[in-house]
Amino acid sequence: MRNVSTLLLASERRAISGLAGLYASRMLGLFMVLPVLALYADALHGATPLLIGVALGVYGLTQAALQIPFGLLSDRFGRKRIIALGLVVFALGSVVAALADSIGGIIVGRALQG
């Protein structure tokens, strides 16, 4: 039986690694925060159970709402460019959420991450 790594070109291995890293960071942003956000959010200014739920759900909501428009943009402007733009917006959302001291800031940061 042949080694799988010999079946792929170096560029294919790099592309797969990059996409796997991208997917892992997106899933980390969604699932790593879920268990602790509800506990942490109680201490934030203006937090209510409804707004904590919005903060938890807005990530998936914006991701679902923007997948088709970003897909269309990637067809028009190129996949690498749109993926890079998405990563920059994701990083910006992470910074906004990390620096937030109110539930509104968390909601905005999570929406940008989505």
Do 101 and 93 touch, CB atoms closer than 8 A? no
Any idea where the domains of the chain sit in the sequence?
A: 29-113
- Residue 109's contacts (CB-CB under 8 Å, 6 or more residues apart) are 93, 94, 95, 96, 97, 98, 100
Can you give the pLDDT at residue 2? 59
Q: Residue written as tokens 């997948």?
A: 67
Tokens found for residue 11: 């560029």
Dihedrals phi, psi of 45, to nearest 5 degrees: -65, 130
For the segment 32-80, what is each residue's pLDDT rounded down to a tens digit? 777 788 788 888 888 898 999 899 889 889 989 999 999 999 999 988 8
**pTM attached to this predicted model:** 0.76
